[in-house]
Amino acid sequence: MPRTPRIHVSDSWYHVFNRGARRQAVFFDSTDRRLFLELIAEVADRYGVEIHAYCLMGNHYHILIRAPEPNLGEVMQYLIGTYTTRFNTRHRFDGALFRGRYKAVLVATERYLVGVSRYIHRNPVDGGLTKNVDDYIWSSLPDYLGLRPAPHWLHTGVTLALAGGWQEYAAFVRASFRDIELDDFYGRARVPSVLGSPVHTALAEAS
């Protein structure tokens, strides 16, 4: 089956994620996770992208990223290629670490940004790693809630403004309701490449 073409356009938002090959762990410990975050900081400075949310799980990651230029491919090639090389060197592994290409969902309308951010930040709860979403330190939620100083490369202002403020955002993320629309979207066997535009989604699925 031919690969679905990437949709990379200027000044766009993407939810980027991928799992380890054969669902293996891609982060063994805090050193691995710190390395990945250091590389996120590096690509933000090097390529001029904005990181708006992230979550590092055991065998996968999620990033909400805004790319002013159509350079997401370069960003992810450097981030994942460099991380894989350093991870393999550290743990004396070789070969591919992640399962094929990363998935990039173009978030086509602002209406979905807060929901996608919530989806990312609730991953540790939904994945059974913690019962309290506030307790998971390997996501950007503690930065959103003011529980620690946010790094210079993490942008929280847009999401908080759309949510109506940090208190409203905190309540939204902490609430355990099911977002049926997003759960159904991400629960598909083949997640579409566009979220928020029925026309664009149909075109992406038909490509």
Instruction: List, for residues 17-35, the tens digit of each pLDDT value.
Output: 999 998 899 999 999 999 9
Tell me whether residue 60 is in a domain: yes
Tell me whether residue 125 is in a domain: yes
Report the predicted TM-score, pTM, of the whole model to 2 decimal places: 0.90
The pLDDT assigned to 1 comes to 42
CB-based contacts of 134, cutoff 8 Å, min separation 6:
141, 142, 145, 147, 174
Hey, what amino acid is at 56? L
Tell me whether residue 102 is in a domain: yes
Q: What are 94-134's pLDDT values in tens digits?
A: 999 999 889 999 999 889 999 999 999 999 999 999 999 99
Residue with tokens 């991870």: 87
Domains held by the chain: number: 1
Task: Tell me the CATH number at 145.
Answer: 3.30.70.1290
Residue 12, H or E segment: strand 12-19
Task: Give the CA radius of gyration of the chain.
Answer: 16
Tell me whether residue 24 is in a domain: yes
Q: pLDDT over 90 for what percent of the chain?
A: 83
Tell me whether residue 94 is in a domain: yes
- The answer, yes or no, to whether residue 207 has pLDDT greater than 80, is no
Tell me whether residue 3 is in a domain: no
| Residue-range definition of the domain harbouring residue 169 | 12-190
Tell me whether residue 86 is in a domain: yes
Label residues 61-80 b or e (16+ Cβ within 10 Å = b).
Answer: bbbbbbbeeebbebbbeebb
Q: What is the dihedral of CA 72, 78, 80, 82, to 10 degrees?
A: -170
- The answer, yes or no, to whether residue 204 has pLDDT greater than 80, is no
Tell me whether residue 199 is in a domain: no
